[in-house]
Amino acid sequence: MALTRATVLLRAAAGGLRGPGRPLWAWDTLRLCSTQAAPKDPPAPPSPYQERPWEYLESEEYRITYGDKPVWLGYRRNHKGAVPPQRTRKACLRKGKPVGNPCPICRDRNLHVDFRNVKLLDQFICPHSGVILHPTHTGVCMKQHKLLASAIAQAQDHGLLWLRVPYVPTPRDDFSNRHPAVGKTPPAPALAPGRHWYPWYEWQPPPAAAVARIRRLYKDYLKEEAAPAVTGTPPDTPPTPCVENKGE
Amino acid sequence: MTGLNLQKVFRPVKKELKPPKYKLMTEAQLEEATRKAIEEAKEKLIMPPVLNEREPIDDVLAEDKFLEGTETTKYVFTDLTYSIPHRERFIVVREPNGILRKATWEERDRMIQIFFPKEGRRVIPPVVFKDEHLVTVFQQDRHEDILNMCIAQFEPDSPDYIRVHHRTYDDIEKHAKYDLLRSTRHFGGMVWYLLNKKKTDGLLIDMIHRDLLDDATSLITLYHMLHPECQSANEAKERKLQGVDLIKIFVKTESQREGYIQLALQAYEEAMATSTAS
C-alpha cells in the first residue's frame, strides 16, 4: 500500500500550509510517501594519488591545506567529558559510509598509508624519542593506527626509515668450524657407493643350516628337481597370473 | 687508522627523553671520566672478524630407504643443551625419502635463532639486505647503520654477511665517502678489503686532504706487508724510506690516479710551508 491512512493525514496537514510557512517536519513528506528510491549521490571518483601517494605530499593542494604542520594537528575528537577515551574509534568507515568527524587520515581521500610515503609516516613518529605516537594524541582511528604501525615496520624493513639500529658487540667466538657438528665427518662405510645401509636391503642368501632344516621338515612335499636350488642366486620374479591363465 | 672521535662514537641515539644530568667535577675527576670514556670507545671500536666464506655442510649420516613414503615433511632435530656453544650444536634433518643428513648453514642459523633468540636478529632476514634495497640505503648515506644491522643479523662467515660488506665497501669507494666509516668499527674491514683489491688511491687522496699523513704512511706500510713482491715495496725496503717519500714512491709505481695524488701532496706541502712560515 503506497498511501497509508497516516500519510494521508500528514499530507492533509502539510498541504494545508503552503510556501515558507510549512513546518520543517513536513518538507519531505512527498518523498517519504513515494515508491521511487531516494536519489543517491554519485560515487566519489578514485583518488588520483592511489598509485603514488607520496606525490600528494609535494603538491600545491597539500601545501594549501596543511602548510608545514603535521596532518593531525588541529584535529579535535568529539567525546563526552573532559578526559577522552583511551582508545579512538574503531574505524571511520562503517559499512562503506563515513562517520561524522572522521580522523585526520580518513578525512582526506588523497592520503594513503603506504610504506613508501615516508613523509607521511614521519609525521606520526615522535621526532625526539623515535616512538610511534599514540592514537589519543594524533586522533586517528584504530584501523588506521594499525595500518600505520605495519607500514612503519615495512618501511624499516625496506631501509626507508631508520628508527632503532641494534648494536651488537663484536662476536668473538671460535670460527674455525672444526667441530664435527659443523665440519666434515668421514661418511660411514655403509654409505660407500655400491653398498647398502642395511645389509638386508639387497637379497642375501639364507644360512645353509636354516635351508637344510626346512628341507628336512618338508621332505615329503618337496618336488623332485633335476638339481637342488642353488642358494647363491636370488629367486626369479614370479610370472604374472594373467599371462599364466592365457598360457593355459 | 680508525681514529678515535669521541663525539662520533658516543653520539646521541634516539631514546626516551630524559632531562639532562649535570655533574660537577674536579679536573682529576674529569680526566678520569675521559679516560673511562676512551676505554669504552676502544671496546666499541674492536674490528669484527673478517673470514672466508664457510663451506657448505652436506654430510649424510644415514640412509633408511624403508622410511620412504611414510612422511610428507622434513623433520629437523635440534640439540637444545643450554651449555654448548652454537657452533658445536648438532642439528640434523630427516628428509621424506629417509635420508638423515646434517642441516645446512641456513637451516642451522634459523633453528638456533628460533630456540635461542638473539637481540637484533630475525629468523627470516629483512628485505633490506637484498641488492636492490641496498641501493636505497646507500643513497641515504646509512652505510654504518646497515653494517651494524648486518653484524646483528648474520654470522661473520656467512655469504650474505660477506656480500653486504663488499657491496658497502664498493659503494663507499665509488663515491669516496670514506669519512662515514672513520671512527667506527668497520673502518678496518674496509681498509683490508681495499688493500686486497688494490683500490687504495681514493682513500689515500682523502687522507692527504684531511692532513692525516701518519695514516697515509701506515696504509702504505700495510700495502707493502700484504703485497711484498710489488716494486714500491722492494724500493722502500732497499732505501728505508719514511713519511712523505714513502708516499711518493708508492704513487710513482703502484697507483692509478697519480696526478690527483701528486696535486694533493703538493697542496699539503704548500699548506705546511705557509703554516710553518706564518
Cβ(A68)–Cβ(A76) below 8 Å: no
Total residue length of chain A: 248
**pLDDT-based confidence at B238, cuts 50/70/90?**
confident
Which residues, 6 or more positions from A14, have their beta carbon under 8 angstroms from its beta carbon? A22, A23, A26, A29
- Residue B59 CA to its chain's centroid (Å): 31
Quote the radius of gyration of chain A (alpha carbons, Å): 43
Vertex B56 angle, CA B51 and B60, to 5°: 145
* DSSP reduced 3-state for B238: helix
A63's grid cell:
601545501
How crowded is residue A103: how many other Cβ atoms within 10 Å of its Cβ?
Answer: 25
Q: Nearest chain A residue to B144 by CA: give it.
A: A165
Lowest mean pLDDT among A37-51, A146-160, A179-193, A219-233: A219-233
The per-residue pLDDT for range A58-82, each reduced to its tens digit, is 899 999 999 999 999 989 999 999 9
| DSSP alpha helix (H) spans, chain B | 6-9, 27-44, 105-115, 131-139, 143-153, 159-175, 187-197, 201-209, 213-226, 231-239, 244-253, 258-277
Is B108 or B253 the better-scoring residue by pLDDT? B108
Cβ(B114)–Cβ(B123) below 8 Å: yes
Of the segments A110-124, B215-229, B248-262, which one has the largest average pLDDT value? A110-124
Q: Would you state the pLDDT for residue B215?
A: 85
Q: Distances from the Cα of A58 to the Cαs of A49, A186, B127, in angstroms?
A: 11, 64, 27
Q: Which of residues 169-188 of A touch B (CB under 8 A)?
A: 169-175, 177, 179, 181-182, 184-185, 187-188
Find the CB nearest B65 among A131, A160, A201. A201
DSSP A121: H
* DSSP reduced 3-state for B100: strand
Which residues, 6 or more positions from B199, have their beta carbon under 8 angstroms from its beta carbon? B173
Find the CB nearest B157 among A164, A175, A188. A175
Q: What is the largest CA-CA distance in chain B?
A: 91
Average pLDDT over residues B72-89: 92
Average pLDDT over residues B195-211: 87
Is the whole model's pTM more than 0.90, yes or no?
no
Cβ(A185)–Cβ(B154) below 8 Å: no
Residue B224 has pLDDT above 80, yes or no: yes
Find the CB nearest A159 among B48, B90, B137. B137
Q: Would you state the pLDDT for residue B245?
A: 82
ipTM of this predicted structure: 0.82
Q: Would you state the pLDDT for residue B81?
A: 93
**B19 Cβ under 8 Å from any chain A Cβ:** no
Residue A227 has pLDDT above 50, yes or no: no
B1's grid cell:
687508522
**pLDDT-based confidence at A170, cuts 50/70/90?**
confident
Average pLDDT over residues B128-145: 91
Mean pLDDT of chain B: 87
| CA-based torsion, A180, A181, A182, A185: positive or negative | positive
Whether residues B120 and A166 touch (CB distance < 8 A) is answered with yes
Residue of A131, A160, A168 to mutate when probing chain B, most B C-beta within 10 A: A168
**A163 Cβ under 8 Å from any chain B Cβ:** yes
Is B178 or A231 the better-scoring residue by pLDDT? B178
Quote the radius of gyration of chain B (alpha carbons, Å): 25
Average pLDDT over residues B90-97: 93
- Residue B142 CA to its chain's centroid (Å): 14
The per-residue pLDDT for range B10-54, each reduced to its tens digit, is 766 666 667 778 888 899 999 999 999 888 888 888 889 988 889
**pLDDT-based confidence at B200, cuts 50/70/90?**
confident
Contacts of B137 in chain A (CB under 8 A): 159
CA-wise closest residue to B163 among B173, B172, B154: B154
Q: How far apart are CA A92 and CA A141, in angstroms?
A: 7
* DSSP reduced 3-state for B168: helix
Residue B194 has pLDDT above 70, yes or no: yes
